[in-house]
Structures are given as structure tokens and as C-alpha cells.
Structure 1
Amino acid sequence: MKTLIQKIHVEEHYSFACRTYKTPDFETAWHKHPECELILITEGNGTALIGDYIGEYKQGDIFLLSTNVPHWFRKSQKEMTGSAIVIHFMKDFWGEGFLSLPEMKNVARLVENKNTGIQLQGNLSIDLESLIRQLEHAQGLERIQLLLNCLQTISLSAEQKVITTAFDTITSGEENPVIETIIDYSFKHFLNPISLKEIAGITSMSIPAFCRFFKRNIKKSYFDFIKEIRIGHACKLLRETNRPVLDICYDSGYNSWAHFSKQFKMVTKIPPSKYRKQHIK
């Protein structure tokens, strides 16, 4: 069984890892690692689970995760190719004291944000994509300079969104397959009604034990988790199709417009019709 703690391989002649992960290596389970992670999605789309965040990812998206933030990028279609350039680095790989230099205060503040995940936006995302693609093929001192440029650029920009914070899981390697089973089952069945008895049953737990387990590891209730998956699915349909909003309501796992509209506004802060207008290309 896969363990929650992923071991990152760093080649002997490098101080940090930067490589492309492409299907089937792109498909990693719910995992975490002590390294910070800067990831550029280069192919594919789907759902990102980062700490307690659930949202879509697509080509060109960039995320920066601090140490030990659990995450999983799940493709929207099984046959799709997923690919990303991923940089893994220990926050002190430069050596003790480097981040204490006054010139490094902004970078130090960025990497010291424990249990945090951010998504880059706007021009910041465009600028970082260029730097990351250069870094993948760089050698020698240029690799370190490019990584520093990436972190300094992020630290000075307001074009970033904190998507998870203060996320600290106590999950053990033995528990991780249970989380994978829950998430996998949920994505396969979220369009249908799922009861706590049903989902607890696949883990061989009582309902109270399951609720405690899920809340401890995902930092939200199971029904909040399902709500965010369903609304994320509805958002995708609103953006990418011209189908009536009421049809999208029913095709996102809801049988009541009032309930769908209320939950949609809880997640996105705006009604479905306004969301569609804001995202018409």
C-alpha cells in the first residue's frame, strides 16, 4: 500500500528536485512530504484536493505548497493525460542562516508559512510559468538563481490566493489507504445520494467513528466535502456549456433548485446565473 509520506528523490548532483511528472507518474494518491512544492500544470484538467481545499485545476495553473500539506490532483477523465513540472525543495536547502539574511526576508516569510497552499493568478502565473520552464532545463548555479527568482517574485506579488491554511494532519501511513478509498468512492458517486451509513460502511467504521476520522483528516464534515465536489462540477458545466441552469442543478446531484441555489451561493458567494455571466468567454 502507498504511504501518506512521499519520498522525493533528489539526484546526487542537485540540491533540490525539478522534473516533469506525466501519466502514469502524474497519478499520485493523497500524500504529503516535508519538501515545499511548486507545481505548474502543463497538461490535463481535473480536481485539486489541497489540504481542506477542493477546486478545479487546468493547464497553466500554478500552486505553491508549504511543507507537509497533503494534496492530490485527480484528472477529470481517466483516459486523459496529466502532466506537470514539479519543483520539490527543503526550505533550508540553501544552508543554515541563509534565510536569516535581511535580503531574504520576503522569501523567508513565504516559505515559513506552515501548512499553507496558495494558487498564483494573473500576470504572476504567466511570469512564473516562464521561470519554471527555464528551471526544468537549467544546470548548476542557474537552477538556484531561478528558484530564488520564482520565490522572490511570488513573495512580492499580490496576485495570489491562499487556498488552504493551518492544515496539519495527523494521519498515519496506515490510515492513508482509507482516505484514498473514501475520496475515490466519493468522486465516483457524488452525483447520487450518499448517506453516512453508506460511506461509513465502506470503511468498516461506525457512523460516529467515520465522522471523527474524516473531520480529523480533511478538516471539514463529509457532507461539506460532497457539497464542494458537486458545486465544483456545476461550475464547470456553467462555464463550459450553454445548458439551462436548472438542468445543471439536477445534473450536479441535486433534486431541489432551492437547495442547489443555497449551496451554490455558500461555496461561490454568488448565484449560479451571475457565476455564468462572469465566466462567459
Structure 2
Amino acid sequence: MKTLIQKIHVEEYNSFACRTYKTPDFETAWHKHLECELILITEGNGTALIGDYIGEYKQGDIFLLNTNVPHWFRKSQNTTIGSAIVIHFMRDFWGEGFLALPEMKNIAGLLDSKTTGIQLLENLSDDIAVLIRKLEFATGIERILLLISCMQKISTSTQQKTITTAFDTMTSGEENSVIETIIDYSFKHFLDPISLKEVAGITHMSIPAFCRFFKRNIKKSYFDFIKEIRIGHACKLLRETNRPVLDICYDSGYNSWAHFSKQFKAVIKLSPSKYRKQHIK
């Protein structure tokens, strides 16, 4: 069985890890770890599953995940290359006494938000990307100073959004294998009609047992999960093509414009047409 808990290797001469993960090492399925994670996507795009959040990721995106937030950066196409610079560090690697210093108040507050995930935005994302790229090749005390600088900038900036909070699971290795099976099946078939009987069948559960299992681990219903995947796909088509909105509705797994429009507004808070106008370059 695959394990949900990922063990992060830290060299004996370092106190935290910072390295590039590139295909095939980039492809780590649904997992979590005790370390906090600061990740800069350097190549590729796809869907980020972070706690109960589902959204797109692309080159240049940066996420900060606190301890034990389950996540999976799933490439849009298996044939493409995925790459990221990833910093893994224990919350207390610099010592609780250090975090208790008055000058560390903002950073300590940021790290106290356990099981939380945030995405960096705008200028903050650009500034932190520069620091992360420097940190990857830094040595000695400069590594710690650069990480402190990253965390201080993040903790004092409003250019960020919280994408998941209070996400806690007690998932076993066997349950994690089932979650991966469900997610993989869903991404392969989200454009097709999917019934609860069908997806419960691949897990060898009854429909009620499947619904309870999925809600406990992903913190939303299965059909809400499918809805967010379909709407994410529609957003990509609206941004990257000039195809008619009605065609995109049908090509995103919907057979009713009214249903598509209602679900799109529920997830994005805009109509499909307004969303497209906002993203025309």
C-alpha cells in the first residue's frame, strides 16, 4: 500500500530541505507530512488538490502549506514535465525559544495556523519566488536568513489567500490508496456522467459508506468535488480559447446550460461570460 505520510530527507549538514523535484520525482500523489512546505511551481500546470481546495496551478505559483495538510499537484497531461522548488521545514526547527522572540511574532503567528494552506498573490509571489531561487543554492546561515525573510514577508503581507483551513484526517495507508483510486478515476471520467453507484463500485463500498468515507477525508460531497473539477476545466477553456460559451458548457460535462451557469456562478461567483472578459489579455 502507498503511505499517506511522506518522509522528507534532510542532509545531515542542513536543518531543513530545499530542492527541485522534477518529473518523475514531481509526481507524488495524495500525501501529507509533518513538515511545513513552501513550494514554487517552476514548470508545468494542472490541478492542485490541497486539503478541501481544488484549483489550477501553473508556472510561477507559490503555495505555503502548514503541517499535515494533505495535497497533490496533479499534472494536466501525463506527458508533460512537472517541476517545483520545494522547501520543507519543521515548524520548530529553529527552536521554540527563537519563535517566542518578540521579533518573530508575525512568523510564529503564521506557523501557529496549523493545517492551513495559503496561495501567494501578485507582488508577494514575485518577491518570494526570487528568494526561493536564491535559497535553493545558498549554504550555511544564508539559508536560514533567506527562509526567515520569506516567512516574514508572507506573514506581514495581505497579498495572499487562504485556500484551506482546519483540515485534519486520520487516514491510514490503506485508506489513502482508496482516495488515490477515487481521485484518479474522477479525473479520467469527470466529463462523463458519473453515478454514486459507479464510483462506489470501484471502492467496493456501499453508496452510503462511500459518501461517508469521501466526506470524512475530502471534507465535501463527491458531487461537489466533481463540480469543482468540471468548473475548473471550463475556466481553462474560457481563458485559453475563443470557443462559444455554450460549447464549453457541453465540453465540461454538462448537458444543460442552466445547470452549468448556476454551478459556475456558485463556484466562481461570476457568470461564464464575465469570467472570460476578466481574463481576456
TM-score when scaled to structure 1? 1.00
Q: How many residues align?
A: 281
Pairing 1:180-195 to 2, within 5 Å after superposition: 180-195=180-195
Q: Distance in 2 between matches of 1:8 and 1:167?
A: 21
Post-superposition offset of 1:171: 0.9
- SS for the counterpart of 2:41 is strand
**Aligned position for 2:127:** 127
* Aligned CA-pair RMSD: 0.4
What is the identity, as a one-letter code, of the residue corresponding to 1:146? L
- How far is the alpha carbon of 1:174 from its aligned partner? 1.6
Helix, strand or coil at the partner of 2:261: helix
Residues 31-63 of structure 1 deviation map (CA, whole Å, 9 limit, x = unaligned): 000000000000000000000000000000000
Looking at structure 2, the residues matched to 10 and 112 of structure 1 have their Cα atoms a distance apart, in angstroms, of 23
Equivalence for 2:223: 223
Alignment-derived partner of residue 147 in structure 2: 147
Q: How far does the alpha carbon of each residue in 1:12-49 deviate from its partner, in whole angstroms, 9 at most, with x for none?
A: 00000000000000000100000000000000000000
Deviation at 1:2, TM superposition (A): 1.7
| 1:87 aligned partner | 87
C-alpha distance after superposition, 1:51-99 (max 9, x if no partner): 0000000000000000000000000011000000000000100023111
Rounded to whole Å, the distance in 2 between the matches of 1:95 and 1:172 is 30
Cα distance, 1:232 vs. partner?
0.1
Partner SS, residue 40 of structure 2? strand
Q: Which amino acid aligns with 1:57?
A: Y
Query: In the aligned structure 1, how far is the partner of 2:174 from the partner of 2:81?
Result: 29
- Superposed counterparts of 1:1-281, under 5 Å: 1-281=1-281
Taking the aligned partners of 1:18 and 1:84, their CA distance within structure 2 comes to 10
> Which amino acid in the other structure matches residue 129 of structure 1?
A
Gaps spanning 5+ residues in structure 1: where? none
Query: Tell me, what secondary structure is at the counterpart of 1:174?
Result: helix
Percent of pairs with identical residues: 84
TM-score w.r.t. the length of structure 2 is 1.00
Q: Where in structure 2 are there 5+ consecutive unaligned residues?
A: none
**How much has 1:278 moved relative to structure 2?**
0.3
Q: What per-residue deviation string (whole Å, max 9, x for no partner) do you get for residues 203-262 of structure 1? A: 000000000000000000000000000000000000000000000000000000000000
